[in-house]
Structure 1
C-alpha cells in the first residue's frame, strides 16, 4: 500500500463510487451479468416477470428455459456476445 506524507493510505486505497470497479474486468452488455443481459435473468426485470407469470415462461418452462445461459437462445447469446471486456483501467 502506498502512503502519503501523513503516513496514511492514498485515495485509491479507499473504494468509492468514483473508483469502484477500476482495474476489474467488466461484463459485456449482453452477458448474463451485463447491463442488458441481466434483465433477462430470473432476477432481472424481464426474466423475473416471466418467471412470476410461470407456466411456459418460467425459467424451467418450455419457452423460458430457452433464454437461460444453458438454453438454446440464451446460451447462443452468452457464447457469442457474453463474457468480459478489457479491464476498465
Structure 2
C-alpha cells in the first residue's frame, strides 16, 4: 500500500505523505542535483519550491548542497516576497 493511501485509511498525516510523494517524484524525474550534478537519492535529497503569484520554481538538491545554499535561498525568497517550501528527505 502506498503512503498516501495508508495515511487516508489510517488517519495518518496526509500532508507528510503528499510531501514524500512529491519529493520522490522530483528525484525520479530529475535524477541529478540541479547544482552539483551528483546523482540524487531520495533519502538525502531536498526539494525546494518557490512560488510568487502563479509562478512556481522547483530545485532538487543533494542535502549537503542545500545546506550550503539554504540561507541564501531563504534570503532571496524573503527579499522577493516569494513563498518558500522545503521538503527534506533527511527529515524523519
Q: Please indicate, yes or no, whether the TM-score normalized by the shorter chain is above 0.5.
A: no
TM-score where L is the length of structure 1: 0.30
Structure with more strand by fraction: 2
Structure with more helix by fraction: 2
Q: Which has the larger radius of gyration?
A: 1
TM-score where L is the length of structure 2: 0.29
